[in-house]
Amino acid sequence: MTELLSTNWTEHALAAVASAGRRAGGARRAIVEFLGEQRCCVTAQEIFDGLRVERRAVGIASVYRVLDQLVALRLVQRLDVSGSIARYEPVRPGGEHHHHIVCDDCGRVDAFEDERLERVLGSLARRVSYEVAAHEVVLRGACVDCRPAAAVP
């Protein structure tokens, strides 16, 4: 299933890039394909490092430029989850998504899904008479490794 989501998003993103009049070659294609393989949000540096491991020559400036373009096309969501470091993840065409919990001490980011939370957010949208196109939930705190020993249950 994850592979199918990855393939669908990658194809969707490349088609949207082409529809926007941009070429989908070289760096842009490499970055889109890399993002399509990720399970959660990644930093520009992680994309750059991952592409280097795959022996795909893409400069860090190109990574940032392409990410800005993908965010502008609403293909990628920028998440400001830990200080000044932004993270990026694909916006799935079918609306599939997850939320994040961030450790304020070490910057660790974990994804979570919660059906009950989704129902509550839907109920809230109806109650305030909004048609909510998207939402993100970022919880902050201290992970088990960063909490003082006395605070660990």
What CA–CA distance (Å, rounded) separates 87 from 43?
4
Q: Which CATH number fits domain 98-153: 3.40.50.300, 3.50.50.60, 3.30.1490.190, 3.40.50.1000?
A: 3.30.1490.190
Q: Select the more confidently predicted residue: 97 or 29.
A: 29
Per-residue burial over 45-56, b = 16 or more CB atoms within 10 Å of its CB, e = otherwise: ebbbebbeeeee
What backbone phi and psi angles, to 5 degrees, belong to 25? Answer: -100, 175
Alpha-carbon span 112 to 45, nearest angstrom: 23
Please report the pLDDT score of residue 151 as a whole number. 58
**Strand-strand pairing, 138-141 and 109-112:** unpaired
Highest mean pLDDT among 21-35, 47-61, 83-97: 47-61
d(CA 26, CA 23): 9
- The CATH number for 1-92, chosen from 3.30.70.20, 2.60.40.3880, 2.40.50.100, 1.10.10.10, is 1.10.10.10
> Does the structure show a pLDDT above 60 at 119?
yes
Domain regions of the chain by residue span: 1-92, 98-153
Of the listed ranges 32-46, 57-71, 76-90, the one predicted with least confidence: 76-90
Q: Which residue has the higher pLDDT, 24 or 115?
A: 115
Question: Do 1-92 and 98-153 have matching folds?
Answer: no
Q: Average model confidence (pLDDT) for the chain? A: 86
How long is the chain?
153
DSSP state of 39: S
For the entire predicted model, the pTM comes to: 0.77
